[in-house]
Amino acid sequence: MTAASASSELTFPLAALLAEPAGSRRDYAFEGIRLDLGDDLVLAQPVAGHVRVSRTNRGVFLRGSVETALLLECSRCLRPIELALNLALSEEVLPALDIVTGKQLDPAVEPEIARLTDHHELQLEPILREAIQLAEPIAPLCRPDCPGLCAVCGETLETGPHEHDEASLDPRLEALRAFRVDADAETG
Ligand SMILES: [Zn+2]
Ligand SMILES: [Zn+2]
């Protein structure tokens, strides 16, 4: 099965809405969207949500919500975690062309505001991608009081602190340590 691309599923034609008076609106829902977020960020769940697009004097204003989940790694114990996201969208989008004259509007004016396409389409994909990227935590945790890993043996401290002396260390781990020292020496 060849699913439609995320960008086509997330493109909404607004020419008719733009011809209506301020306050007019459209509602759109989407689900099962797979987004490519770049190298380091992976979705654990497809994106679903809805937006209400309201005509303003200048363009449109969209409000909505998005649900998905990120596949992350606990920054203390390194176990994989799935972080559920429920994000609110609230964003103004301006036309690229003057609705009456069809002339290109100067994109240098208010460059921080998203634009519709030259065909008066709303492209939601970049807006969703940015919202999800901004929601990525800097140091995700599997739980707020994750104790992390033992600095000596690398085992999880989930079950509480433990004791060990050199003699009780796993010989396989010792071998690994020796290897690491060699590797460090080689890379300088
Ligand atoms: Zn953890
Ligand atoms: Zn330990």
Percent of the chain with pLDDT over 90: 63
Taking alpha carbons only, the member of 41, 37, 53, 45 closest to residue 89 is 53
Prediction pTM value: 0.77
Averaged pLDDT for residues 149-153: 89
Q: What is the C-alpha separation between 183 and 9, in angstroms, rounded? A: 49
Q: What one-character DSSP code corresponds to residue 21?
A: P
By the CB criterion, residues less than 5 angstroms from ion ligand 2 are: 150, 152-153, 155
Write down the pLDDT at residue 151. Answer: 86
Q: What is the chain's length?
A: 188
Ligand nearest to the CA of 77: 1
Is 80 in contact with 73 (CB distance < 8 Å)? yes
Ligand 1 centre and the CA of 74: distance in Å? 5
pLDDT, tens digit, 9 for 90 and up, residues 75-122: 999 999 999 999 999 999 999 998 888 888 888 888 889 999 999 999
Ligand nearest to the CA of 74: 1
Averaged pLDDT for residues 147-173: 79
Taking alpha carbons only, the member of 129, 140, 173 closest to residue 34 is 129
